[in-house]
A and B are shown apart, each in its own frame.
Chain A
């Protein structure tokens, strides 16, 4: 018995002594666990809190909150319907558009590539706001136009339905799928498609039977990203679902947290379920991909053949135009129209139009000016710190020989599963307990943004780091270059396109962020997302539309500047 114990101890010692955790892994790991730990602890303890709902941390524990959730299975069912339906529709749009843009000879592909990317940074808040005016059953512009043309009084569409919410989610998330799947399509070895063509398959059959299956990892990766984003999506269900009695987890959670006394335990239990749903989705994707080879991306630089679809080109062209119309032109046009109005209803009497709403939001309303400046600072800060931190982690997870790399990757991706409303409350409590004065400062909001968007940054930078061939750095080393010189002359130039693209993405998602900011922004740290949300809540449609247009302009200017900067050096 004693001998067995000794052997076990010896084995454990050997394991411990062989554990090789290097600073490049443990430093970010400790930092992340330090910042995520408290909100996570708060979520777990609150979810099991069966005592006073306002006591932190909880003192008595049990499963009562989960039992109560059984009375609200519709919230979870609706979340799955919206996230599942939105992902299916979004992926369908994403795969189709990525293929059209990158694998066909359709005219104007470069322009469409840019136009298709814009709806994502505009964000769900702008999307919901615009579509509430386009697709409202009674006075939505589309229904008014339909009635005027056909004389039929029954509305053509109703955006305040589960289908409407799925549609809005899908069209504003689809650009991410285009980006992820399009990148994979551009790096694809065309040999298998050529084989298919040689054996007599038509163009559509080749696309369906060869290209699509080869794209499966990218498609699943995009689907996972969209699904987890939609599970935590706040603005669209809140703005389109709540008033029609359609509750998903996030808008239900918002009401639970908004009321007095706030029901943290039930909201936390719901948050716990959301994390579990995300974990199951990740596990399912990994299971599907496990043990299969999708070796389409190699060190060689392929330029896949572009397919001439003949007369079908114009059908594809029309479909692409339709997407740009639904996701960009109609929403922005509607917001522009609404911003010129004197009342909540849109009228086409040009004489009554006014620029007063812009004057108000830009000059008369102090919150907006502060919110614009703060959002810009946060966008730049989140972009810069997020990219640096994510690059460091990506290099550590892909290049380091240290143990704990997988754990670092998993912890980095954890915020993607965290409901931001809950995270924000936990984060608020955490910074208040810190010995340094961080509460009420922009730095606190910046720190929260960096954590919240780290999975996005990591995903972006990870994809870039993994593509860089180590041989180039090794060649520099063999030629006598030091570490700093290698970084400056080899690694950084190779990373530059990815750095710029990820920076731009982080900037844009920071400027449009809303749900975490609702709890974290203060009197002197107002930001655009909550400012727009508050205006939507209490300010009337013309003014909120004007503010949304201003936000969209800021994002578009940033996007253009980054593109111009990138085009001077490399393509983003």
Chain B
């Protein structure tokens, strides 16, 4: 039979002919179909329509004051009103789950330190694809694999931090392993297991550091804080000697306030996470949400945001005062998103982290 077919040369029956014709048409049309989908995803928001939609609702886990300041400027620049609510993942996701099921969503955009959550939302078709004008300014490590679902609005680099008024520079830890020194017992602070930055920290270091590192670190009784602001505050007040992982913007804010803090970037690498922004697929204000995304990821929006926050932009053309040159740092970013969003890894992290911080 196979032989017969091979010998039949160009002889095709009618069905095969139709299939071949369809395939040819498809292959001819495909680039146009893809580019049309891309064009639809790239369709910009209309300002008048956005104003008619009402204030864009931004859910985020950042410092509220920073977001409020940024939204004020955003509205001044674009004419689109916006409001915010600070919701850490544990608050945002139960709400979101319930809202999606009931079809009564209230938020339009989500800004989070956990790009793994964004990947999950994308897989659940809960994110709207929108490709802003400046998408090419973002490297592949700073956006969803299919661009437009989520993009990094800042890179949250997490060095160690201390205040030289309370810790001599010579005795301060220089490497991650230095944190195991018993002299720091009860004097190291991390964010708790609810923080996306803690998960990112563990994820990028788990295969680099020895397997028993976390148990050994746990023996030093690290303390859990709910935010990096809390850690930074306690360092400033002398209640905590070492911030085990502190968001870099706390360092910049402290320097701006003329506090003598030091950031330590271990040579092994500095765990960093993508702070990702994405639009909910159920947004009731799609025009406003697109305008927000477009502005946030533009050079202007990135300059404004990262100067307010004091953090690194994922764009190479945006610089912020007081931040060490990012090119001198060895960043450890989660790149394997299949593994990063893997529930098994998350469960393992929560167990390790809670045990380490005494929960």
Hey, which bits of chain A sit against chain B, CB under 8 A? Answer: 54, 136-139, 238, 242-245, 247, 252, 255, 257-263, 342-345, 360, 364-367, 425, 428-429, 432-433, 437, 439-440, 518-519, 522-524, 526, 534-535, 537-541, 543
The answer to whether B233 and A344 have CB atoms under 8 Å apart is yes
The interface centre, meaning the residue of A259, A344, A526, A540 with most chain B CB atoms within 10 A of its CB, is A259
The answer to whether A138 and B238 have CB atoms under 8 Å apart is yes
Q: How far is the CA of A534 from the CA of B230 in the complex (A)?
A: 11
Q: Which residue of B is nearest A365, CB measured?
A: B68
**Chain A residues closer than 8 Å to B114, beta-carbon distance:** 260
Select the stretch in B7-15, B186-194, B320-328 that faces chain A.
B186-194
Q: How far is the CA of A394 from the CA of B345 in the complex (A)?
A: 53
B281 on interface, CB distance cutoff 8 Å: no
The answer to whether A245 and B86 have CB atoms under 8 Å apart is no
Q: How far is the CA of A20 from the CA of B357 in the complex (A)?
A: 57
Select the stretch in B41-49, B99-107, B170-178 that faces chain A.
B99-107
| Chain B residues with a Cβ closer than 8 Å to the other chain, count | 57
Nearest-Cβ distance from residue A358 to partner chain B, whole angstroms? 14
A524 and B83 in contact, given A344-B233, A537-B229 (Cβ under 8 angstroms)? yes
**Chain B residues closer than 8 Å to A365, beta-carbon distance:** 65, 68
Q: A243-B230, A260-B93, A522-B85 are in contact. List 13 more A-B contacts (CB 8 A).
A: A136-B239, A138-B237, A139-B239, A242-B224, A245-B224, A245-B358, A252-B359, A258-B91, A439-B106, A526-B85, A537-B226, A537-B227, A537-B229
**Chain A residues closer than 8 Å to B128, beta-carbon distance:** none
Q: How far is the CA of A258 from the CA of B354 in the complex (A)?
A: 13
Q: How far is the CA of A354 from the CA of B271 in the complex (A)?
A: 38
Q: Which residue of A is nearest B62, CB measured?
A: A538
Which of A238, A257, A425, A539 sits near B65, CB closer than 8 Å? A539
B141 on interface, CB distance cutoff 8 Å: no
Q: Which residue of B is nearest A366, CB measured?
A: B68
The answer to whether B221 and A255 have CB atoms under 8 Å apart is no
**Chain A residues closer than 8 Å to B99, beta-carbon distance:** 432, 439
Q: How far is the CA of A539 from the CA of B230 in the complex (A)?
A: 9
Nearest-Cβ distance from residue B207 to partner chain A, whole angstroms? 21
The answer to whether A428 and B224 have CB atoms under 8 Å apart is no
Which of B93, B189, B224, B229 sits near A262, CB closer than 8 Å? B93
B304 on interface, CB distance cutoff 8 Å: no
The 5 closest A-B pairs by CB, nearest first: A258-B90, A258-B194, A245-B358, A432-B102, A260-B89
The interface centre, meaning the residue of A137, A360, A522 with most chain B CB atoms within 10 A of its CB, is A522
Which of A242, A247, A257, A541 sits near B233, CB closer than 8 Å? A541
The answer to whether A262 and B117 have CB atoms under 8 Å apart is no
The answer to whether B95 and A367 have CB atoms under 8 Å apart is no
The answer to whether B238 and A139 have CB atoms under 8 Å apart is yes
Within 8 A of A (CB), among B323-359: 343, 346, 350, 354, 357-359
A136 and B237 in contact, given A260-B194, A367-B68 (Cβ under 8 angstroms)? yes
Which of B88, B102, B240 sits near A258, CB closer than 8 Å? B88
The answer to whether A522 and B94 have CB atoms under 8 Å apart is no
B183 on interface, CB distance cutoff 8 Å: no
Q: How far is the CA of A238 from the CA of B224 in the complex (A)?
A: 11
B157 on interface, CB distance cutoff 8 Å: no
Q: How far is the CA of A210 from the CA of B64 in the complex (A)?
A: 56
Ordered by A's residue number, 17 sampled pairs between the chains whose C-beta atoms are within 8 Å are A242-B192, A242-B226, A245-B221, A255-B192, A255-B354, A258-B88, A259-B90, A365-B65, A432-B99, A432-B101, A439-B99, A439-B104, A440-B104, A524-B83, A535-B64, A537-B227, A538-B86
Nearest-Cβ distance from residue A192 to partner chain B, whole angstroms? 52
Q: Which residue of B is nearest A54, CB measured?
A: B97
Q: How far is the CA of A343 from the CA of B163 in the complex (A)?
A: 15
The answer to whether B64 and A138 have CB atoms under 8 Å apart is no
B234 on interface, CB distance cutoff 8 Å: yes
**Chain A residues closer than 8 Å to B57, beta-carbon distance:** 523
Q: How far is the CA of A261 from the CA of B196 in the complex (A)?
A: 11
**Chain A residues closer than 8 Å to B101, beta-carbon distance:** 432
The answer to whether B193 and A429 have CB atoms under 8 Å apart is no
Q: How far is the CA of A534 from the CA of B357 in the complex (A)?
A: 22
**Chain A residues closer than 8 Å to B138, beta-carbon distance:** none
